[in-house]
């Protein structure tokens, strides 16, 4: 049984781990010298998950941010040649955002940076501990109580998810 103190400690540990993950990922990104911010990398990864170039509003909704924030991020990525604005073929008033070849190269580098950051973070864990952690994280992320029963799908580990 957990006590309020142990739940507070657990919450604090989760927040500390989150900050550590962000710091390590940021370091790995800087090491690769891609010249993009973590927020821009998130937008680029999100953009890559659309089947066709989305509108700015679609990106804002998916990222759960205001459209103005997306405009600023797209401006930066466009200036670095990673995305471009293209007119919608069905409605010339609508602008869509597509990933360029330079952006696809950056996405590959981002995946590698995230993978190496994850390897660094998980290095102290054994294979068995990683399996348990995966099940626990799946339970927390999905919130459905499936827990370790969902390990067969391996969640986001090794699936190439961004």
Identify whether the C-beta of residue 150 lies closer than 8 Å to the C-beta of residue 138.
Answer: yes
For the stretch 7-35, pLDDT in tens is 888 889 989 998 998 889 888 888 888 88
Count of CA atoms in the C-beta half-sphere (13 A) of 12? 6
pTM: 0.70
For the stretch 57-91, pLDDT in tens is 999 999 999 999 999 999 999 999 999 999 999 99
For the stretch 102-118, pLDDT in tens is 999 999 999 998 899 89
């Amino acid at each position: 049984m957990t006590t309020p103190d142990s739940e507070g400690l657990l919450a604090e540990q989760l927040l500390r781990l989150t900050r550590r993950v962000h710091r390590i990922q940021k370091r790995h990104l800087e090491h690769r010298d891609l010249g993009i911010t973590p927020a821009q990398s998130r937008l680029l990864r999100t953009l890559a998950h659309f089947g066709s170039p989305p509108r700015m509003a679609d990106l804002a909704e998916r990222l759960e941010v205001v459209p103005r924030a997306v405009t600023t991020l797209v401006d930066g990525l466009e200036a670095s040649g990673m995305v471009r604005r293209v007119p919608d073929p069905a409605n010339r008033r609508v602008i869509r955002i597509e990933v360029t070849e330079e952006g696809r190269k950056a996405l590959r580098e981002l995946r590698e940076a995230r993978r190496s950051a994850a390897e660094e973070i998980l290095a102290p864990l054994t294979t068995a501990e990683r399996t348990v952690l995966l099940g626990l994280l799946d339970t927390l992320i999905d919130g459905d109580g499936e827990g370790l029963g969902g390990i067969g799908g391996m969640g986001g580990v090794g699936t190439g998810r961004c």
